[in-house]
Structure 1
Amino acid sequence: MQNDNHFDYLIIGNGLAGLQLALELSKDPFFATYKIGLIDPSEKSENDKTWSFWEQGQGKFDAIVEKVWHTAKFESDRVSLTLPLKAYAYKTIRSIDFYNWAKEELSVKDNFQFILDTVQRIEETDSMKVIGDKQSYTAKHIFDSRVPKEFYLKQSDYTLIHQHFKGWVIETESACFQPEAFTMMDYRFQYKDTTSFIYVLPFSETKALVEYTFFTPFLVDPEVYEKALKNYLKTTYHLSNFKILETEVGNIPMTDFPFWKYHKKHITKIGTGGGWVKGSTGYSFKHTEKHVSKIIKNIKAGKNPSHQLFKKKFKFYDKIFLKVLHDENEKGVWIFESFYSKNSIRTMFRFLDEETNFSEDLAIMKSLFSMAFIKAFFKVLFRP
């Protein structure tokens, strides 16, 4: 008798990682006979975030890209840069467009099943058992995007920087934005001596996402974001009247916590819960794409899905960067000024994409060479 609640693969969490993994599994004939379930407590029917990323040429998600830019800007009190992206393009996707597109693509696949339920726990028996609020499910292998509880219990043992932000998608009555270039970072509106900046994605002359972002070991009161956003819009664009179409609030953990240690033989941690958010930047979209591709290659090669998902040298680089931001947060402006003004776009993007060779790594290190990084290097190297 067939068990409708038994799956070859069960994906817990229909966010970026879970849906990207499901989409790639659905496209590969190797998995055509595998029964795959996707379980999440949410229908994913709201636009809850925006993903932005750079890439060369055409991408897998171009059909749902909201806007593409070929020029970036960087501003601080000391530096003003306009950066042509050359072979790269910077792209933005609204999460609701991604959710809808993914659900539409997967709904026509007979071997995929969406389950609306909240997972309470996993029991490791002869077959992996997932206990939900509504029902229980079994699977041969589970891909779990939930953050390990140990992350919250052992935070003090590791370096944690909060990438916290609030943004508005606004619309103005008259043209005021320049839609051909986006602002990567504008540090002229810093909050005290912190790594805090304005980020702007202009969708048209009258519509833009304007976001105030912090990279700090601590959080701030909600009114801090709004005060900065209003000040920025008034000072830079002379705007006091505008319509807020959407509000985006978030807190992305930038950390050296070893998420990968929580993989098990029949459980692969994915997404934020698997350490797929890059520790030094908070970027996840393209890293998710790469990790998903590696997982599928591993499975088809008969290896554990989590085999060699990460490059150790970049984890070490991230640890050093996080330590600097944690111990000397005021250095963030200088770090990013140096990074953007002393390196080529190609080298920077390759480094952030974890694709650089050692000579390129040295070029980045040279541009950031300082006592702050030397101290952080030794603190990380000799940390228990």
Structure 2
Amino acid sequence: MNRDVLHGDVAVIGGGPAGALAALLFARQGRHVLLFEARAEGEVIRDARALALSAESQRHLAEAGGWPAGLPATAIDTVHVSQQGCWGRTLIRAADVGLPHLGQVVDYAALTAALDAELAAAGVDVLWGCRAEALDTLAGFARVRYHGAQGAGAATARLAVLAEGGALIDTLAGIHRDEHDYHQTALLAQVRFDAPHRGVAYERFSQDGPLALLPYGDGCMLVWTRSPADAEALRDGPPEVLAAALQKAFGERLGAVRSVERPATFPLRLRRASRVTGRRVALIGNAAQTVHPVAAQGLNLGIRDAVTLARLTAGAADPGEPALLARYAAARKPDTRAVIGFTHGLMRVFESRDPLVGVARAVGMNLLDALPPLRRRFAGHLVFGLGGDV
């Protein structure tokens, strides 16, 4: 059935962490926010990902009410970077940026549930089980046409914020997406070792692809970049085969691998929108860009998108005013460009099997470790953004 047209100040499409944060920030400004989320209300989230959030991202979420006390998370105090088969390593510590922790690791499902609860408490008008099917942007407002369990409907708002990376982006005038397929797959698994992690996150550039071991409860969350065939074989094969491969790539820093559980995979692609604004529309999070998970910068980048957009439109009678959206696009450009260049370049540098390149990588890591000002600057970029304004 058709519903009456809904009206709001801001319409947010996509209720993941970046979209939910944007909705909360706009609601805190006293704006009427409509949030379109394809999930049904209370739907159990089946997502194997653990999110590595910087201390700055955690602060933004907490200030918006999306990181309640008691949210189960594991602190990252140190990042240990090394490469297999060559000397050289870097240690980045929380003390380098004057913070108690560099960041936190939290379940995607746990963070999403906390944000859902805060959306209800903040009075955000969430349209659960509604999928946005079209977005028309006119001179004075944007119109969202959607379909849900109760039929089709439409909504208008002064600003539409697109926070999901679906096909809706491709329908926006003047905006297209560039894509690079890494022909790689991320393999995720929960891992336990003989020794405790002690708050250390490991970034290890192994001969079979970069891997991260994030502190996760009393174990670690593995994120290993492999070829699609290797990732699927390790996912579907006996756990002891994956355990042996990980032990060989990672070494004995945490002792023996005791168990590997719940392996899952997802393909890796770089996507970037040619523009992050259009008439009456702004792109944030996965709508604006998806990046390689190396260095765990993707969601942190999306959170900075949401915070910047809300800050630059605060107090404006019309949050979709072209001049404000132009300021948002200009403000986010340095950070986005730097993060994409950093993660993409890191993959290219560490893909090389040239021994001389390996030596150069080792020298670079040792220099970073030996020069405190350089290390502090690098750590600050990881926590607060690269070239960003937030």
1:114 Cα deviation after fit = 3.3
Aligned equivalents of 1:135, 1:183: Cα separation in 2: 46
1:159 Cα deviation after fit = 4.9
SS for the counterpart of 2:352 is helix
1:37 Cα deviation after fit = 2.6
Aligned pair in 2 of structure 1 residues 276, 242: CA closer, same or farther (>3 Å)?
A: closer
Show the counterpart of 1:213.
225
SS for the counterpart of 1:75 is strand
Show the counterpart of 2:301.
287
1:57 Cα deviation after fit = 11
Aligned equivalents of 2:309, 2:153: Cα separation in 1: 26
Gaps of 5+ in 2: 236-240, 317-322, 369-373
**What aligned pairs does 1:1-384 form with structure 2 within 5 A after superposition?**
3=4, 5-26=6-27, 28=28, 30-32=29-31, 34-41=32-39, 43=41, 45-48=44-47, 49-55=49-55, 59=59, 60=62, 61=67, 63=69, 64=71, 66-76=73-83, 77-79=85-87, 81=89, 83=91, 84-86=93-95, 87-88=98-99, 89=101, 90-124=103-137, 127-132=142-147, 134-140=151-157, 141-147=159-165, 149=167, 159-161=180-182, 164-171=185-192, 176-187=194-205, 189-191=206-208, 196-203=209-216, 207-214=219-226, 219-223=228-232, 225-226=234-235, 227=241, 229-233=243-247, 236=252, 237-239=255-257, 242=259, 244=261, 246-255=262-271, 257=272, 259-261=273-275, 263-275=277-289, 277=291, 281=295, 283-300=297-314, 302=316, 303-305=323-325, 306-312=328-334, 315=337, 318-319=340-341, 322=344, 325=347, 329-330=351-352, 337-343=362-368, 344-352=374-382, 353-355=384-386
| Structure (1 or 2) with the greater strand fraction | 2
Contact 2:292 2:343 (C-alpha < 8 Å) held by counterparts: no
Q: What is the total number of aligned residue pairs between the two structures?
A: 336
Aligned equivalents of 1:107, 1:139: Cα separation in 2: 21
CA-based RMSD? 3.9
SS for the counterpart of 2:198 is coil
1:128 Cα deviation after fit = 1.2
Aligned equivalents of 2:337, 2:35: Cα separation in 1: 32
1:176 Cα deviation after fit = 0.7
1:74 Cα deviation after fit = 2.4
Contact 1:199 1:211 (C-alpha < 8 Å) held by counterparts: yes
Which amino acid in 2 is paired with 1:97?
A: A
1:186 Cα deviation after fit = 2.0
Deviations 1:104-147 (A, max 9, x none): 11112334223212222223466513232532221212111233
1:18 Cα deviation after fit = 0.7
Contact 2:132 2:146 (C-alpha < 8 Å) held by counterparts: yes
SS for the counterpart of 2:330 is coil
Aligned pair in 2 of structure 1 residues 219, 301: CA closer, same or farther (>3 Å)?
A: farther
Contact 1:170 1:209 (C-alpha < 8 Å) held by counterparts: yes
Contact 1:160 1:322 (C-alpha < 8 Å) held by counterparts: no
SS for the counterpart of 1:285 is helix
Aligned pair in 2 of structure 1 residues 79, 137: CA closer, same or farther (>3 Å)?
A: farther
Q: Percent identity, please.
A: 10
1:185 Cα deviation after fit = 1.7
Deviations 1:333-369 (A, max 9, x none): 6676455432243221233444569xxxxxxxxxxxx
Which amino acid in 2 is paired with 1:110?
A: G
Show the counterpart of 2:371.
none
Gaps of 5+ in 1: 358-384
Aligned equivalents of 2:306, 2:265: Cα separation in 1: 27
Aligned pair in 2 of structure 1 residues 53, 111: CA closer, same or farther (>3 Å)?
A: closer
